[in-house]
Amino acid sequence: MNEGKAREQISRGDRAASLLREELLNEAFSKLETDFIQAWKNSSVEDSQNRERLYMLCQNLAAVKDYLEQVVTSGKLAKAQLDELQNRVKFEKRK
C-alpha cells in the first residue's frame, strides 16, 4: 500500500470512529433496532411478509454499523502499516 492510500484509509477510519462515537447516531441505531424488533413481536401470525421486511430492516441496520466498524479497522491497519513503513525508512537512513 502506498502512503497516500494509507493516509486516506486512516482518515476514513477516523471519520467512521467519530460517527460511531456520536450519541445521536448510536441512539438512532438502538431506537430503530428496538422499534423493528417490537414491530416483529407484535406482528400477526399471518403477516409473514411484514416480518420478513422487519427482519431485512434489522439486517440492513446491522450491516451499516458493521461497515463503519470495518472502515475503523481498516484505518487502524493502515496506520500500523504506515508507521511500519516510516520506521523502515528511518532505519534505512541510519545505515
Q: What is the pLDDT of residues 14-71, one digit of tens each?
A: 999 999 999 999 999 999 999 999 999 999 999 999 999 999 999 999 999 999 999 9
Phi first, then psi: what are they for 22, rounded to 5°? Answer: -65, 120
List pLDDT tens digits, range 21-37. Answer: 999 999 999 999 999 99
In the chain, the amino acid numbered 5 is: K
- pTM as predicted: 0.84
How far, in whole angstroms, is CA 93 from its chain's centroid? 38
Grid coordinates of 8 = 486516506
